[in-house]
Amino acid sequence: MNGLPHTFPEIAGILGFLGNEQRLRILTTIARKEKFAREISEELDISRPLVAIYLKQLEKHGLVKGTDRRCDEPPYHRRYYRAQPFEFTLNLEILTQAEQE
């Protein structure tokens, strides 16, 4: 993640973002093995356009890293994605501090 959330809107935003089952399924599948969007789409039965949107969002939040590669068979250009290690802790102390900011 790009820094820890410190305010109520930031905390609510990341919880809402991670509260999507399809995003969590994508994150889990690329935690085991890097894959490109079509593989993820077929494996999880999620449309390719939606997978592409979610991957961009996950990458923006720093939860996923994409790497461009040239392949010998079509499609010749593929972007492989891999989940990045992260930890998110939420407790009453953090909420109390966020309330004061």
The CATH number for 64's domain is 1.10.10.10
- Bridge-partner residues for 68, per DSSP? 79
Residue 37 lies in a domain: yes
The reported pLDDT for the residue numbered 4 is 67
Tens of each residue's pLDDT in the chain, 101 residues? 556 677 888 888 889 999 999 999 999 999 999 999 999 999 999 999 999 999 999 999 889 999 999 988 887 889 999 999 988 888 898 888 887 76
Residue 42 lies in a domain: yes
DSSP of 8-76:
HHHHHHHHHHHT-HHHHHHHHHHHHS-EEHHHHHHHHT--HHHHHHHHHHHHHTTSEEEEEEE-SSSSS
Residue 1 lies in a domain: no
Phi, psi of 7 (to 5 degrees): -120, 160
Residue 2 lies in a domain: no
The number of domains in the chain is: 1
Residue 3 lies in a domain: no
Q: Which domain holds residue 59?
A: 8-100
The reported pLDDT for the residue numbered 88 is 83
